[in-house]
Structure 1
Amino acid sequence: MKTSLVIFFKRVLPFPLRIQLRKLNWRRRYLTEAMLHPAKAPVYCPIAEKEYKCFIPERHDIWPSQISPENGARSRHRLIWLYLKRETGIFKDKCSLLHIAPEHCYFQKLKDLKNLDYMPGDKMVDGYGKQSGVAYMDLLDLKIKDGTIDYLLCNQVLEHIPDDRKAISEIYRVLKPGATAIITVPIDENIKETYEDFSITAPAEREKHFGQWDHVRWYSTDVKDRFEEAGFSVDLVRYGKQFSAEDYVRFGLCDDLLIIAKKNK
């Protein structure tokens, strides 16, 4: 019932209105948290480039996180942003970025970069409303020429796609030789191999088995193999370990693994 209601309201409410409602909710939660549980020292969102008295705790059983009060960025979003800023040429070089299912906290910041040929796209299936400036895009059939993209960013998408190997092969196809894909998926490091069972289709059962009603698998660290099968050179990077203990807390980071997949030249 809850899932059906969420999908219904996402269909009915225009995307800009939904964002405004989210912002009001983030603000309300922030004011409450700042009053009752302020951090010991100011925290900082590197995406918003602002300090706050605290982040908003998200007490999810599987994916606990900390939310930035103005843009809704979660811990993994800030972690990825810092990787993009420090380890790629996206913010300074003349280059192209294909952004699959663009997050609100990134969208306008990346769109405003003068050096960047920014291409945001999303399939916009049930439960995910249409966003102005975002093209319809199917990761299984990208209408993009071979070898034309410098960077690709795709966060928390592949776990929704039954034929993820096809999606990975499409990512490989559109990237230039030497280009990089930055990917995240839910990874359970306690399992030896990726768990998927396509006979499980009911939302409640998918949530039970895969952590969310619209997920079709739990990845293990063997996700690396799927990218290597497509031709990538792959590193699983725990980028949060690059930071001091103080900065880790200040930026509200997490220990998520980033999949850094490079197309061989």
Structure 2
Amino acid sequence: MKRLFIHIVKSTLPFSLRVELRKLNWKSRYYLQSIAHSTKEKVFCPIEEKEYNCFIPETKGVWSSLISPGNGARSRHRLIWLYLKKNTNIFSGDCSLLHIAPEFCYYGILKSLPKLHYMPGDKMVEGYGKQSGVAYMDLLDLKLDDNSIDYVLCNQVLEHIPDDRTAMKEIYRVLKPGATAIITVPIDENISATYEDFSITSPAEREKHFGQWDHVRWYAKDITERFKEAGFKNVELVRFGEQFSEADYKKYGLCEDLILVAKK
């Protein structure tokens, strides 16, 4: 019933209205959480560059996160943002970025960067309203030239795609030699091999087996081998959160998620 309600809302309400409703939800939850927040330690969203009394705790299924009250950024969003700031020239250089399924918390900032050739794209599958400024884009068939992109940013997408190997090959194809793909997916570090079973098709069974109703696999660390099969020679899983002190880890509301960095 909840999934049906969400589907109806996403397919009928304009994206801009849904964003405003989300903001109201974040704000109301933040005020309630602030009342219950007993410590005096402030937190900081590095995406907004703004201080708050606290983040908003959220738990869904097999994962939990801390939400930034102003933009809805989760722990992994802040972690990836800090990685991009430190390890890429997206924010200062004259380069191109293909951003697959652009997150709301990133989109406005990246779009406004004067030297960045920003290309946000999403498949806009049934039930998802079109986001203004985001092009229709199928990761299995990117309508882009070979060797044309400096960076690809793709967060929490591949676990939805049955033919993920083709998607990886397309990412490789459009990147320039020496360019970089920055990827995140749900990774279960307790399994030795990626788990997928395409006979599992019902939303309830997918949630049971893969952690979410629209996921088709749990990745293991062997995801690096799939990227190497796609053509990448230099593939690394980076636990970027480890470099932060305990105080900074709490201040920024980070997580231990692995970031896959693949260079062409």
- How far apart, in 2, do the equivalents of 1:61 and 1:216 lie? 15
State the 1:128 CA deviation: 2.3
- How far apart, in 1, do the equivalents of 2:215 and 2:61 lie? 16
- How far apart, in 2, do the equivalents of 1:257 and 1:216 lie? 19
State the 1:39 CA deviation: 4.5
Q: Is 1:135 the equivalent of 2:135?
A: yes
Counterparts of 1:63-142 in structure 2, within 5 Å, are 63-142=63-142
State the 1:126 CA deviation: 2.4
TM-score (norm 2): 0.98
Residues 52-72 of structure 1 deviation map (CA, whole Å, 9 limit, x = unaligned):
000000123411000000100
Q: Give the equivalent residue in structure 1 for 2:173.
A: 173
CA contact 2:186–2:219 (8 Å) conserved in 1: yes
State the 1:230 CA deviation: 1.1
Q: Give the equivalent residue in structure 2 for 1:30.
A: 30
State the 1:167 CA deviation: 0.1
Structure 2, gaps ≥5 residues long: none
- Partner of 1:64: helix, strand, or coil? strand
State the 1:238 CA deviation: 0.3
1:250 maps to a residue whose letter is K
- How far apart, in 2, do the equivalents of 1:105 and 1:39 lie? 26
- Partner of 2:60: helix, strand, or coil? coil
- Partner of 1:138: helix, strand, or coil? coil
Q: Give the equivalent residue in structure 1 for 2:186.
A: 186
Q: Give the equivalent residue in structure 2 for 1:262.
A: 263
CA contact 2:57–2:66 (8 Å) conserved in 1: yes
Give the CA RMSD over aligned residues: 0.8
State the 1:2 CA deviation: 1.7
Deviates more, 1:204-213 or 1:132-141: 204-213
State the 1:131 CA deviation: 0.1
- How far apart, in 2, do the equivalents of 1:22 and 1:120 lie? 21
- How far apart, in 2, do the equivalents of 1:252 and 1:22 lie? 20
Structure 1, gaps ≥5 residues long: none
- How far apart, in 2, do the equivalents of 1:62 and 1:38 lie? 27
- How far apart, in 2, do the equivalents of 1:129 and 1:29 lie? 25
Q: Give the equivalent residue in structure 2 for 1:15.
A: 15
2:158 maps to a residue whose letter is L
Q: Residues 40 and 222 from structure 1, CA distance in 2 versus in 1: closer, same or farther, beyond 3 angstroms?
A: farther
Q: Stretches of 4+ moved more than 3 A in 1?
A: none
- How far apart, in 2, do the equivalents of 1:187 and 1:137 lie? 25
The alignment of Structure 1 onto Structure 2 pairs a total of residues equal to 263
Q: Give the equivalent residue in structure 2 for 1:240.
A: 241
Deviates more, 1:161-170 or 1:55-64: 55-64
- Partner of 1:99: helix, strand, or coil? strand
Q: Give the equivalent residue in structure 1 for 2:153.
A: 153
2:224 maps to a residue whose letter is K
- How far apart, in 1, do the equivalents of 2:221 and 2:80 lie? 18
State the 1:40 CA deviation: 4.1
2:247 maps to a residue whose letter is E
CA contact 1:38–1:53 (8 Å) conserved in 2: no
Deviates more, 1:30-39 or 1:243-252: 30-39
2:255 maps to a residue whose letter is C
State the 1:3 CA deviation: 1.2
2:245 maps to a residue whose letter is S
- Partner of 2:63: helix, strand, or coil? coil
